[in-house]
Amino acid sequence: MKKKLIAGNLTGTVALIALGACGTTPSESGSSAPTTTTTKAMPKTAPKTAPKTIPKTVPKTTPKVSLTKSQEQAIGSAKSYLDFTAFSRKGLIRQLSSDAGDGYSNADATFAVDHIEVNWNEQAAKSAKSYLDMTHFSRKGLIHQLESSAGDGYTHAQAVYGVNKAGL
């Protein structure tokens, strides 16, 4: 990738040197001294150069994190729970750190949840559909259930997204 960028910049530099060799007028150079260089007329179009290759996205380079055994296990548990059922971020941390759940420390549970890829909106949609499969809710009641700290613990925006996605 660097070779292409360097080649593109080198081509541009050669073109600029070529333009400079053609001579400049006093108004172009900012000098009042006349130039004595005689040159051939330059073509009206700029010389064609190879297009510069610029990466569309820069790969994210995050330093490798050294995990403790407890963090590794918590990550595995978090993924397993999400394979089984839907959770909010808050609900998954609560499940992982609860004495009735896995009993991980809150720090390890939070670390695990923050180091897995989860679309929380889609989790809210799965939860909303699950609730509607079990019982009846009004739109307002289901949003409240999804965002309640005693319920699932989704954010309001996630709860609304989930209810919309569930068709209510």
| Kind plus residue range of the DSSP H or E element containing 111 | helix 106-114
Does the pTM surpass 0.75? The reply is: no
pLDDT tens, per residue, the chain with 168 residues: 433 333 344 334 333 333 344 444 444 444 444 445 454 555 555 555 555 555 455 455 556 668 999 999 999 999 999 999 999 999 999 999 999 989 999 999 999 999 999 999 999 999 999 999 999 999 999 999 999 988 899 999 999 999 999 999
Handedness of CA 140, 141, 145, 148 (dihedral sign): positive
Spatial distance between the Cα atoms of 149 and 166, rounded to a whole number of angstroms: 21
Check residue 158 and report its DSSP letter: H
Query: What pLDDT does 106 receive?
Result: 97
109 within 8 A of 97, measured Cβ to Cβ: yes
- Is residue 82 classed as helix, strand or coil in its secondary structure? helix
86 within 8 A of 130, measured Cβ to Cβ: yes
Query: What pLDDT does 5 receive?
Result: 38
Spatial distance between the Cα atoms of 33 and 167, rounded to a whole number of angstroms: 78
Query: What pLDDT does 101 receive?
Result: 87
Query: What pLDDT does 151 receive?
Result: 87
Query: What pLDDT does 3 receive?
Result: 36
Spatial distance between the Cα atoms of 34 and 75, rounded to a whole number of angstroms: 74
> In the structure encoding, which two tokens stand for residue 109, read together?
């549970």
Query: What pLDDT does 87 receive?
Result: 97
Residue tagged 């309640």 (tokens): 148
DSSP-derived secondary structure for 42-63: PPSSPPP-PPP---SSPPP--P
